[in-house]
């Protein structure tokens, strides 16, 4: 279960002057973790916060990000399949949640691309998921759908992101901790 909330992360990143918001940051973290054999939470957090304008304001953000790194890594590799993308709570507007979902996908693809496993080495399943995430990154709420249909579509997309992120992790990092390049 996620103990770092969307609002907590958003507030910490905003206070630190980070360039990314909570959804995109969590997407980037998840994409990096999904393909990384030797992930270092402190190093990733330092890199992530390196471009902030006020390093003295990053202490709390660093603590929150490190906790999020540990939680997300445990969820992706755990047996319970309890990973979930960090998105605004259900009481936020559908437009806000959809925009966050889109930026989560953008972050995921950036994080995945930051790991030195070239796309040519990705299994077909991973390439298909990345193509889907690229489409979802352009998601917006349409005027033609009822609110109930839009909510249902949103829930389906969130479930797809959840399952797909775990599948990418399974495909690129096997249970022994070997990347695709290192395996047989």
Q: Which residues pair with 179 in a beta bridge?
A: 173
Supply the pLDDT for residue 143.
65
Instruction: Give the chain's length.
Output: 184
Supply the pLDDT for residue 74.
92
Taking residue 48's Cβ as centre, other Cβ atoms within 10 Å add up to 23
Q: Which stretches of the chain drop beneath a pLDDT of 70?
A: 1, 53-55, 118, 142-145, 174-184
- End-to-end CA distance of the chain: give it in Å, rounded: 34
What topology does CATH give the domain 6-172?
A: 1.20.120
Supply the pLDDT for residue 177.
45
């Amino acid at each position: 279960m996620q103990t770092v909330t969307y609002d907590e992360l958003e507030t910490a990143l905003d206070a630190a002057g980070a360039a990314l918001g909570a959804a995109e940051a969590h997407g980037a973290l998840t994409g990096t973790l999904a393909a990384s054999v030797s992930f270092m939470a402190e190093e990733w957090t330092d890199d992530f916060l390196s471009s902030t304008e006020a390093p003295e304001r990053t202490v709390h953000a660093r603590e929150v990000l490190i906790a999020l790194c540990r939680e997300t890594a445990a969820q992706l590799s755990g047996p319970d399949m309890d990973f979930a993308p960090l998105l605004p709570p259900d009481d936020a507007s559908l437009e806000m949640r959809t925009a966050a979902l889109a930026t989560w996908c953008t972050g995921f693809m950036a994080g995945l691309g930051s790991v030195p496993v070239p796309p040519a080495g990705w299994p077909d399943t991973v390439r298909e998921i990345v193509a889907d995430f690229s489409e979802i990154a352009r998601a917006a709420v349409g005027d033609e759908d009822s609110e109930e249909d839009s909510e249902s579509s949103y829930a389906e997309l969130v479930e797809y992101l959840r399952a797909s992120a775990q599948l990418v992790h399974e495909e690129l990092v096997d249970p022994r901790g070997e990347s695709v390049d290192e395996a047989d």
